[in-house]
Amino acid sequence: MSTTIDTIKEQIENNDVLLYMKGNPRAPQCGFSSQAVQALMSCGERFAFVNILENPDIRAELPKYANWPTFPQLWVKGELVGGCDIIVEMASTGELQTLIKEAVGDEQE
């Protein structure tokens, strides 16, 4: 029987760009998730997401696993990038676009 932590690890390993958020990209359920989605969408690449409102176990366990207390959480290539403030800041400097394009580009080669 797999645990919630196993599920989280699998999701992070199997998706180069993964956003844990409240709601989904078309209908974010909080302002922070909405800002994170807009920043990610501006990169023009596809990304995976997990709606933590539909996954209460993940919502409870991920902050402990990640050592990051809040949502959204952006993971790229198995590394926690950060939450809304970091994502938006990186988008404003162009860092996010570079990071996302490199992560997705690796997969396409």
Q: What residue segments make up the domains of the chain, in order of their start?
A: 4-97
Can the peptide bond before residue 28 be classed as cis, meaning omega within 30 degrees of 0? Answer: no
Tell me what pLDDT residue 109 has: 47
Average pLDDT, integer, range 10-20: 97
Q: What is the pLDDT of residues 45-87, one digit of tens each?
A: 999 999 999 999 999 999 999 999 999 999 999 999 999 999 9
Q: What is the pLDDT of residues 28-48, one digit of tens each?
A: 999 999 999 999 999 999 999
CA distance 22 to 36: 11
The topology (CATH level 3) of 4-97 is Glutaredoxin (3.40.30)
Query: Annotated binding residues for [2Fe-2S] cluster, as ranges?
Result: 30
Query: Annotated binding residues, as ranges?
Result: 22, 30, 59, 71, 84-85
The tokens describing 70, both together, are 């809040």
Tell me what pLDDT residue 1 has: 63
SS3 53: coil
pLDDT category, 2, cuts 50, 70, 90?
A: confident
Query: Annotated binding residues for glutathione, as ranges?
Result: 22, 59, 71, 84-85
